[in-house]
């Protein structure tokens, strides 16, 4: 999918909303509600959020956001790739875009929370240099969550 474009876009648009609904259903099938820590559409529209969409033409295949925190770090939220685009390295491309955005904002630490039942996501983050850390921010210790961090150069 050479013609796949990743760019900053507004999250409130039909193709993206459909993708976020798929993401919600996917994590709800894996974890109880108290272990899901996803941002709402309103939270994704905040000035502190950089939201990216991967698309080919009008079709949306992935999304990811970077949330700037008061402590000078950022957090990856709502990263999801449609099942029809899995295996195409789109997750890696989205992650590279988020890291590029962090660098452009002069931010050197990216953190994330992901679930333990998502080995593909965990593998993606580990291969990109993310390391496990204790819970951060408002997160509490949760046996179903894995917390990770990468320090950018």
The confidence score (pLDDT) of residue 2 equals 63
The confidence score (pLDDT) of residue 48 equals 97
For the chain, the 3-state helix, strand and coil shares in percent, each to the nearest 5, are 35, 30, 35
Global confidence as pTM: 0.94
pLDDT at residue 1 tops 60: no
pLDDT at residue 86 tops 90: no
**Is residue 95 helix, strand or coil?**
helix
% of residues, the chain, pLDDT over 90? 91
């Amino acid at each position: 999918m050479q013609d796949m474009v990743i760019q900053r876009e507004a999250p409130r648009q039909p193709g993206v909303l459909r993708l976020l609904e798929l993401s919600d259903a996917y994590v709800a099938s894996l974890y109880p509600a108290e272990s899901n820590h996803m941002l709402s559409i309103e939270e994704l529209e905040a000035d502190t959020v950089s939201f990216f969409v991967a698309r080919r033409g009008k079709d949306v295949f992935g999304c990811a956001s970077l949330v700037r925190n008061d402590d000078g770090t950022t957090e990856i939220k709502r990263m999801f790739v449609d099942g029809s685009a899995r295996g195409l390295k789109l997750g890696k491309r989205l992650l590279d875009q988020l890291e590029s955005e962090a660098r452009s904002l002069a931010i050197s630490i990216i953190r994330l929370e992901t679930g333990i039942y998502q080995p593909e996501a965990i593998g993606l983050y580990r291969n990109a240099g993310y390391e496990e850390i204790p819970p951060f921010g408002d997160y509490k210790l949760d046996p179903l969550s894995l917390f990770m961090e990468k320090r950018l150069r």
